[in-house]
Amino acid sequence: MSNTAIITGAGSGLGQATAVRLAKEGVNIVAVDISEKGGNETVEMVKSLGVDAIFVKADVSKPEEVKNYVDQAVDRFGTIDYFFNNAGISGSGAFFLDSSIEEINRNVGINLLGALYGVRYVAEVMLKNGGGSIVNTSSSAGVIGQDSVVTYSATKHGIVGLTKSMVAEYAKDGLRVNAIAPGPTETPMVKAFYEANPEMKANATSGIPQKRLGTPEEVAELVTFLLTSKAQYINGEVIRIDGGFTNTK
C-alpha cells in the first residue's frame, strides 16, 4: 500500500519540487495551495509519474479550510503518512515600523497560524493511526535575526518552537517532527521578493559562502529524506540548507 503525503504550498517552489520528488518514491500526493492553477499543475506532474494525487484549494490561515484539506486526504487515501507543512509568504521587505498592521496579521496568519492549524489536524489523524512524519518549513530567518523581515522572522522562529515542542509531547506516540531552514532559494516567492528589493539579492548572494542561491530540488531531497523511513531516528531537528549562509552569522 502506498504512503500518502499532504503538501501545503504545493503549487510552486519547494512544495511542487517536493511533490515531484515524493512521487518518484511512489507516494500519493494531496497538493494544497491557494492557487488552483499551480495546485492542478502539480497534480498533473505527479500523476504523470504513476501515483495518485488530488488538489485541495485552501487558505491555510483559515482553520476550517485546513480541516477540510485534512478531511479530504483521509476520505481519498484513508490516512496521512507524511506532512510537508510548507505554505508561507515573505512580506514586503519593509522595515518593521513601516509595516502595516494588515501585513503583520497576514504574515502571522499564513506562516504561523497556518502551520499550527496544519499540525493540529494532521497530527490528530497520524496519532490515531500509529504515527507519522512531519516536516515544517522554517527559514534562515528562523534561526538568526535579519533586517527587513521582522514579522516573517518571528513566524519562522515560531515554527522552530512548534517543531521542538511537538516532539516533546508526542514522539513517544510515534510522531516525528522536524524542520528545515532554507536560505535564499530560487523559488517564485523569493524571486518576487528580490525583484521588489533588488539590493537585498546582491547582499544575500555575497553573504552565502557558496555564492549562489539554493534550488527547490535540493531542498526537496532533504525534505524527502526527513519525511521517509530513511530518517527514523531524526526527531526535533532544525536542519539548515543554506550554502553556509547562517554558519557565518
Task: Round to whole Å and give the CA distance between 14 and 221.
Answer: 10
Give the 3-state secondary structure of the chain.
CCCEEEEECCCCHHHHHHHHHHHCCCCEEEEEECCHHHHHHHHHHHHCCCCCEEEEECCCCCHHHHHHHHHHHHHHHCCCCEEEECCCCCCCCCCHHHCCHHHHHHHHHHHHHHHHHHHHHHHHHHHHCCCEEEEEECCHHHCCCCCCCHHHHHHHHHHHHHHHHHHHHHHHHCEEEEEEEECCECCHHHHHHHHHCHHHHHHHHHHCCCCCCECHHHHHHHHHHHHCHHHCCCCCCEEEECCCCHHHC
Catalytic member of 152, 170, 194, 233: 152
Is 194 a catalytic site residue?
A: no
Q: Return the closest-CA partner of residue 167 out of 211, 219, 119.
A: 119
Annotated catalytic sites, by residue?
152
